[in-house]
A and B are shown apart, each in its own frame.
Chain A
Amino acid sequence: MIVSVLQENLAKSLGIVTRAIESSPPLPVLSNVLLETEDSRLKLSATNLEVSITAWIGAKVEQAGSITLPARTFSELVGTLSRERIDMKLDASTHTMEMRCGVQTTNIRGIDADEFPPINHGPEADFHLAGDTLKEMINQTVFAAATEMNRPILTGVYVKLEDTTLTMAAADGYRLAVRTSEMANSFDEKQDMVIPARTMNEVARICGDDMEVGVCLPKERNAITFTAPNVVITSQALDGRFPDFAAIIPRSFATTTMLYTSDLLAVCRRAEIFARDNANSSTMVVRPADNPGEPADVMIVGKSAERGDTEGAAQATAEGEPLDISFNIKYLIDVLNVIKEERVIFQSNGPENPGVLKPEEREDFVHVIMPMSK
């Protein structure tokens, strides 16, 4: 194997594929990146057996070949090399890759490529999505997925295709994010699956504005493949059924408040400074005005028994009943961080009932947060 690549390209693609690698994998070879020549490209792959990521970069291939190199050493070195051409030459008998770049000559010992588990990315895509849409859909749902393993199915993002609607949903038991989008294709037969949140985060990272991402749905192997230009991510779907969530989204509300997203976010962040000592519990106080259209009083209160308290007013209009409701303030901050619209609607049916947030004039994103009760 004799191949030349640009440092910049190699560093970038290593940054993408090595995210599939676990910190202490069950097999030594899983700490390595697989390098294979493919026509006039160098193909890099990494896997943890659940998620596999492959990326291609342009290369001058003098002699075909393959090898695996320890990801950490390889990435760390490439990251520090100068922005020049890297010439790589494999000594197959010792599995040692000689790398020359500028003034630097390096030999990295690897493991034979045959020991690397086979990576099967899915075949042709079943449908395509605009990269920016896919990225936004993931970013608006994935943060709500569970990080603890007590309900493994909730560590994934639920993905459903039905007719022309793509739905993504995630919930950690206390909050739920649901985002939909219309597709060009139509799926007469409903298909649904649960994809690990970790995979979805990686997919969001590779999505760019001016690209189409192909999706190959799980078939017999229960794996889903996302194909972006020069990068492919394949992931096992999670086993199990995602709990029914449609029923827990309320349809009518006693209190409806319209707020400014960035203003509310700022007030929540201040409350969080004090709420930290109090399980992040902060109270939202809503007092609708006597006459419609007049500004309402909306306050967010954060209290610490030891450090003090803070109370901030958010600009708002409100209709319906007065409301005092406590939330884990981090949940509010998380959702406000992924709403780009200027204004946001907050609705609830009382302090023991879910709070519902959605961007103004959008029906394709809804977020439900369960309150904290005394």
Chain B
Amino acid sequence: MAKARKILHLDLDAFFCAVEEQLRPELRGKAIAVGGQPDQRGVVASASYPARAFGVRSAMPMAQALRLCPHLIVVGGTRGAYSDRSRKVMAILHDTAPDVEPLSIDEAFLDVTILPESIEETARKLQRRINRELDLPCSLGGATNKLIAKTANTIGKASKPKDAPPNAITIVAPGDEAQFLAPLPIRGLWGVGPKNAETLASLGLRTIGQVAQWSEAALVARLGKLGGDIWRRAQGIDTRPVQAGGAAKSISKEVTFAVDIADDARLLLTLRRLADGVGRAARKAGLAGTIIKIKLRYGNFSTHSRQTTLEYATDNDTVIMKCAERLFLQSRIDDTPVRLIGIGLSGFAEPSRQLDLWGKAERPAESSEFQSALDQLRDKYGETTIRRASDLHYQPNDDNRR
């Protein structure tokens, strides 16, 4: 088994208010709210902890906040100062760990697996540095994955007294993930919205622990694919990496031929195989795209790309292949030897398919049932178990240039 990861989730406590207190020290320790004016139907963007003690919350109408806390000091906000402090915090994080994934102006994940010291130690050092160097309170959650680290941080902050910044550190030890989640209400689980919570409640499932005890198959039957995701998360399983550059923007596959190829039939075979690869990678990543792009580099290194935008996001091999073939035939310079060929999928959106009035019987290869049956066969027996008839005489190793 791979070595357990060490993931930290960092959240700056009442960030906008903390920055305002630096700019105007007379506000320190007072009930303040950053946001729009009540007479302009403003809402609370951030509330200090003394204000939270009165029930003032983010996104609340400012007028309501003033009713709850009549002595609340409303502050207009200083955008430039927030992003400046945020950049400084992120710089400290990058100084600490190679992989930092900013989630927002005041929140980030760090992968600190490679650091020799314990995760508590790293968290404490980081917190001390941000407290001292930037005079900002912050809370950290640590665990073996993003889900537990973030949840731990939320729980840890909530357990502190309400009237001062929590500056909390909460660590869940490896192996304790499921146990940590078990008593929490299911709404606390990432990906469970009000509708799913309702569905789960109707099954008698109110805590994450109860969900974890259920069978995965039963949840999938009720909630579809998301049921499986929720079940895995309820076990405390989350394999998402800390992604420095944010989420993937495109998935692409390309091949450089050992010898430049001029034969269209051969190029189309390669293109189909690349389409399958892109489709499979997209499905594994749970992504579906609306933009399909092909790239052709000729023997003289001139490179041409061409793309098309679909009406519906797809992760289907056959749909990707058909588009790629059409783009290829439109952009191909006849008989010119090709050095490199590639396909990319981007423009990610929710995978969706418009259902047909008269059924889809005429295009079975484009159905998700067909696609997932193929995936299962390939998962179980290997990638070459089932191939297109057109690929039967094709040796995959023909292509790659060393």
Contacts and interface: CB of A to CB of B under 8 A. Distances in A.
Interface stretch (B67-75, B327-335, B353-361): B353-361
A152 to B, nearest CB: 15
B364 interface: no
B357 A374 contact: no
9 smallest beta-carbon distances between A and B, as pairs = A370-B355, A279-B312, A372-B352, A278-B349, A281-B352, A373-B353, A372-B354, A174-B354, A373-B355
B353 A243 contact: no
Nearest to A277: B349
B350 A278 contact: yes
B195 interface: yes
B349 A372 contact: no
17 contacts: A173-B357, A174-B354, A174-B356, A176-B357, A278-B313, A279-B311, A279-B349, A279-B352, A281-B350, A303-B350, A370-B355, A370-B356, A372-B312, A372-B352, A372-B354, A373-B355, A374-B352
A326 interface: yes
B357 A370 contact: yes
B354 A328 contact: yes
Interface string B132-154: 00000000000000000000000
Contacts, number: 59
**Most chain B beta-carbon neighbours within 10 Å: one of A174, A281, A328, A371:** A281
A62 interface: no
B207 interface: no
A326 B356 CA distance: 14
Interface in B334-348: 348
A370 B354 contact: yes
B219 to A, nearest CB: 16
Given A305-B348, A324-B195, A373-B352, A279 B313 contact: yes
Interface in A301-353: 303, 305, 324, 326, 328, 352
Contacts of A174: 354-357
A175 B357 CA distance: 7
A174 B357 CA distance: 5
Contacts of B312: 279, 281, 372
B224 interface: yes
Given A173-B358, A279-B311, A368-B357, A326 B352 contact: yes
Nearest to B350: A278
Interface in A111-162: none
Interface in B348-399: 348-358
A354 B348 contact: no
A370 B225 CA distance: 22
A349 B59 CA distance: 37
Interface of B: 195, 224-225, 290, 311-313, 348-358
Contacts of A370: 354-357
A196 B351 CA distance: 34
Given A174-B354, A279-B311, 5 more contacts: A174-B356, A174-B357, A279-B354, A368-B357, A372-B355
A323 to B, nearest CB: 11
Interface of A: 171, 173-176, 243, 245, 248, 277-279, 281, 285, 303, 305, 324, 326, 328, 352, 354, 368, 370-374
Contact of B357 (A171, A372, A373): A171
B224 A374 contact: yes
A374 B355 contact: no
Nearest to B313: A279
Contacts of A326: 352
A324 B351 CA distance: 16
Contacts of A354: 357
Contacts of B348: 305
A354 B311 CA distance: 20
A175 B355 CA distance: 10
Given A303-B350, A305-B348, A374-B224, A279 B290 contact: yes
Contact of A248 (B313, B353, B358): B358
A128 B225 CA distance: 56
A143 B350 CA distance: 27
B195 A372 contact: no
Nearest to A354: B357
Contacts of B358: 173, 243, 248
A299 to B, nearest CB: 10
A374 B355 CA distance: 10
Contacts of B357: 171, 173-176, 245, 248, 354, 368, 370
Nearest to A371: B355
A328 B355 CA distance: 10
Contacts of A324: 195
B250 to A, nearest CB: 14
Contacts of A368: 357
Contacts of B313: 278-279
A370 B358 CA distance: 10
B352 A173 contact: no
Contacts of B355: 174, 352, 370-373
A303 B353 CA distance: 16
**Most chain A beta-carbon neighbours within 10 Å: one of B311, B352, B354:** B354
A370 B312 CA distance: 14
Contact of B350 (A171, A245, A374): A374
Given A174-B356, A243-B358, A374 B195 contact: no
A97 B313 CA distance: 56
A18 to B, nearest CB: 32
Nearest to B349: A278
Nearest to A247: B358
A300 to B, nearest CB: 14
Contacts of A176: 357
A371 B357 CA distance: 9
Nearest to B348: A305
Contacts of B351: 374
Contacts of B311: 279
B195 A285 contact: yes
Contacts of A374: 224-225, 350-353
Contacts of A371: 355
A227 B311 CA distance: 40
Nearest to A324: B195
B309 to A, nearest CB: 10
Given A279-B311, A279-B312, A305-B348, A372 B353 contact: yes
Nearest to A176: B357
Contacts of A278: 313, 349-350, 352
A328 B357 CA distance: 14
A243 B350 CA distance: 31
A243 B357 CA distance: 10
Contacts of B195: 285, 324
Contacts of A171: 357
Contacts of A277: 349
A303 B355 CA distance: 20
A176 B357 CA distance: 8
B163 to A, nearest CB: 33
